[in-house]
A and B are shown apart, each in its own frame.
Chain A
Amino acid sequence: AQTVTQSQPEMSVQEAETVTLSCTYDTSESNYYLFWYKQPPSRQMILVIRQEAYKQQNATENRFSVNFQKAAKSFSLKISDSQLGDTAMYFCAFMKFQGGSEKLVFGKGTKLTVNP
């Protein structure tokens, strides 16, 4: 079974600075997707960034980028120029191909607070 571990329950960063959230996972699959989701106080789950395991290039989305280390099974999220609106729970998630009903396996989350 796949597992996703987020070792940082809480983190804080000053506005405009950079912060990195850690995520490791365990799987025997070779083909899979990794995701970072954001859940602000509204509790709406928002997809931040997605990485396909077969792609070596790290995904980027504006101020968000990942460091995907497949051999190490590591998938960290870097947030540059942090903004107050980035304050949220961040969940790392894994998905394998499973015959059309792919499940997301979530980590326990990291609560990020951006301070003014």
Chain B
Amino acid sequence: GAVVSQHPSRVICKSGTSVKIECRSLDFQATTMFWYRQFPKKSLMLMATSNEGSKATYEQGVEKDKFLINHASLTLSTLTVTSAHPEDSSFYICSAGGTRTAENYGYTFGSGTRLTVV
């Protein structure tokens, strides 16, 4: 089945620094990738949608200059949290979708990244 690898699983960074999270589709080409943020005991909040080779589409209220998304290839998307602050601490999850076949509906999720900003 489709596998999405997300790294790192945990990261602790100092306030003011930047952190990059990678999401790779291992056995399929991900034309679209989604980035979510999840607060404790809450549902997933979509942050942005990225399509390979084009700019990401951000959801309302998400700062595009703080959360930089790059989808340079069909197997890799990155989320960079710039100038991180403690309020950016959260669980970030990516999901990937390939071509529009029935098997690809129901996107495959990465294992998530717990970001702690100190």
A44 within 8 A of B: yes
Name the contact of A106 in the complex, choosing from B43, B49, B97, B102 (C-beta under 8 A): B43
Interface residues in B, total, Cβ within 8 A: 25
- B107: A residues at CB distance < 8 A: 104
Min CB distance B13 to A, Å, is 20
Main secondary structure of the interface of B (DSSP, over half): strand
* B70-118, CB < 8 A from A: 91, 93, 95, 97, 100, 102, 105-109, 111-112
Interface residues in A, total, Cβ within 8 A: 22
Name the contact of A109 in the complex, choosing from B34, B43, B51, B105 (C-beta under 8 A): B43
- A91: B residues at CB distance < 8 A: 43-44
Min CB distance B55 to A, Å, is 12
Tell me the complex Cα distance, A35–B95, Å.
14
B43 in contact with A50 (CB, 8 Å):
no
* B7-48, CB < 8 A from A: 31-32, 34, 38, 41-44, 46
Known A91-B43, A91-B44: A101·B111 in contact at CB below 8 Å: no
Tell me the complex Cα distance, A43–B40, Å.
11
Min CB distance B40 to A, Å, is 10
Question: What residues of chain A have their CB less than 8 Å away from a CB belonging to chain B?
Answer: 33, 35, 42-47, 50, 52, 91, 95, 100-104, 106-109, 111
